[in-house]
Amino acid sequence: MLSTNKFFHDRLVLLLLSVNTFLVVLTALSILFRLQGAGNGYIVQYRAQLGIGAYESGSVSHILAFIVFAVLVLAVHAVLSQRTYRLKRELSVLILGMGTLLLVMGFIVSNALLTLR
C-alpha cells in the first residue's frame, strides 16, 4: 500500500501518466472527428513491396481499432509501471516512457492512414 501511495506522489510518474492520457484523448478525438465527414472506404494497410496493390481498404471498425489500441496501451503500461515501482523506480518510468512512444507512433500512423483516404 505504501509503494502505491508513493507511485501516485511521484511527479515524473504523474507527468508521464498525464502525457499518456492526453495522447489517448488526442488520438481518440482526432480519429472520431475525421470519421464524421468520411465515406465507407478507408485505407487501413500500406505494403510497399506490393507495388500497385500496396493499399488495402477496410471498414470503420479497422480505424476504430486505433482507439482501442491507445486505451489498451495506456492501461497496460500504467498497471505494469505501478507494479514495478516498488522494485525499481527507473524501470517504472522507463515503462511509462515506452508507452508514450507507442502512443505517439499510434497517433502518427492513424493520422497518416486517415489522410490517405
pLDDT for residue 37: 61
Which residues touch 78 (CB under 8 Å, ≥6 apart)? 17, 20, 96, 99
Instruction: Give 7's pLDDT tier (boundaries 50, 70, 90).
Output: confident
In angstroms, rounded to a whole number, what is the distance separating the alpha carbons of residues 37 and 15?
Answer: 34
Domain-wise residue ranges, the chain: 2-116
In angstroms, rounded to a whole number, what is the distance separating the alpha carbons of residues 38 and 85?
Answer: 44
| H-helix or E-strand spanning residue 46 | strand 42-46
* Mean per-residue pLDDT, 85-110: 94
Predicted TM-score (pTM) of this structure: 0.85
pLDDT for residue 117: 66
Cell numbers that stand for 91 in this block: 524501470
| Per-residue pLDDT reduced to its tens digit, 24-77 | 999 999 999 988 765 667 777 777 776 666 777 778 888 899 999 999 999 999
User: Which residue carries 482507439 as its cell?
Assistant: 67
Tell me if 58 sits within 8 A of 45, measured CB to CB.
yes
In angstroms, rounded to a whole number, what is the distance separating the alpha carbons of residues 17 and 66?
Answer: 19
Q: Is the pLDDT of residue 2 over 60?
A: no
